[in-house]
Homo-oligomer: A and B are copies of this chain.
């Protein structure tokens, strides 16, 4: 099929290419007659402008990039959905990429987004700011960090104050009598991994609980490392009686292996996850979580990026987190009356 171009539209409407373009761009310097004729020609020919040609001439592509760690993680799936809807409402299409928690893939995707001349990029960064993250700065590409940041890079960001939620969680577990709390940490190559670990360390010290370094397992934010972490921690000479997982996917892995090992969550061992996933409340026992609003995060990230694209310099935003106590971290009850998560 031969492509319909703006030349065909202009010819059918009986105007010049420049006038047709002005009409389609909403330029007011056009007569009502020209507008009507061009609109009729567009409809008759089912014409769609070529976005590549537009972007090439106009220096903007009306698209933004969003690079997340893994769209299968419900937190990032929700974030992607919110960002995409907010961007679409502002006239931008979102190009979504997955880094799979790997720096090489992060770099590859960022290069792709740069090559496609997206108007801006929202990214949950991994690593210390070398590679393609550095290129974003060098090229002055409008950028907003979401959820995570890179030390030393002055990029506007929207993140979570994990300190508050983690402090509440540790305090809650201490009040329930736990003295050895196992922590399944995120990767130290991510700011969230570092921040949440540091917050955990401070909260443990403040609560006067055991600071045995063996109580910390360094995972990679994937479900499998959640399972491996629980497995390692439960093999300690003095295993923890409570667990705190630094993200939802690792919590899923933790639940699966506790299930497999016949350990009853809530009764035998307490479990709290960072990130509130909708279905965590449907588990039995329902999972205690450190909650923050992923929707708000996504909306703010888009607002900030639009400001940066327009030449503004938005202030970074830190959102609150809070503990939501459910049955998985409540005081153990007697087996006869307590709900449990057991092997079927």
Check if A256 sits within 8 Å of B284, measured CB to CB: no
Check if B98 sits within 8 Å of A116, measured CB to CB: no
Check if B344 sits within 8 Å of A326, measured CB to CB: yes
User: How distant is A95 from chain B, measured CB to nearest CB, in Å?
Assistant: 6
Q: How many protomers of this protein does the assembly include?
A: 2
**Given A1-B139, A53-B56, A72-B78, do A341 and B284 touch, yes or no (CB 8 Å)?**
yes
Check if A112 sits within 8 Å of B93, measured CB to CB: yes
Interface contacts beyond A95-B95, A95-B96, A327-B344: sample of 5 additional A-B pairs, CB < 8 Å, sorted by A: A48-B115, A71-B71, A71-B84, A84-B96, A256-B282
What are the residues of chain B within 8 A of A97 when measuring CB–CB?
A: 84, 93
With an 8 A cutoff between CB atoms, is A285 at the interface?
yes
With an 8 A cutoff between CB atoms, is A309 at the interface?
no
| CB closest residue in chain B, given A286 | B344
With an 8 A cutoff between CB atoms, is A262 at the interface?
no
Contact with B along A25-53 (1 / 0, CB 8 A): 00000000000000000000010111111
Q: List 20 A-B contacts (CB under 8 A).
A: A1-B138, A48-B111, A48-B114, A51-B116, A52-B61, A71-B71, A77-B77, A84-B98, A93-B97, A93-B116, A94-B96, A95-B95, A95-B96, A255-B282, A283-B283, A283-B284, A284-B339, A284-B342, A286-B344, A339-B342
With an 8 A cutoff between CB atoms, is A12 at the interface?
no
**Which 8 residue pairs spanning A and B have beta carbons closest together?**
A284-B284, A52-B55, A51-B116, A52-B52, A51-B115, A96-B96, A52-B56, A327-B344
- Bound Cα distance A121, B208 (Å): 58
Q: What bracket does the count of chain A residues touching chain B fall in?
A: 35 or more
**Given A256-B282, A282-B252, do A52 and B116 touch, yes or no (CB 8 Å)?**
yes
> Which one of A77, A282, A326 has the greatest number of beta carbons of chain B within 10 Å?
A282
Residues of chain A in range 214-268 having any CB-CB distance to chain B below 8 Å: 223, 252, 255-256, 259
Check if B77 sits within 8 Å of A340, measured CB to CB: no
> Which one of A71, A72, A116, A326 has the greatest number of beta carbons of chain B within 10 Å?
A116
User: How distant is A298 from chain B, measured CB to nearest CB, in Å?
Assistant: 12
- Bound Cα distance A85, B77 (Å): 16
What are the residues of chain B within 8 A of A111 when measuring CB–CB?
A: 48
With an 8 A cutoff between CB atoms, is A74 at the interface?
yes
- Bound Cα distance A48, B116 (Å): 9
With an 8 A cutoff between CB atoms, is A212 at the interface?
no
With an 8 A cutoff between CB atoms, is A291 at the interface?
no
**Given A259-B282, A283-B284, do A51 and B98 touch, yes or no (CB 8 Å)?**
no
What are the residues of chain B within 8 A of A117 when measuring CB–CB?
A: 50-52
Check if B279 sits within 8 Å of A50, measured CB to CB: no
**Given A49-B115, A117-B50, A327-B344, do A98 and B72 touch, yes or no (CB 8 Å)?**
no
What are the residues of chain B within 8 A of A259 when measuring CB–CB?
A: 282
With an 8 A cutoff between CB atoms, is A310 at the interface?
no
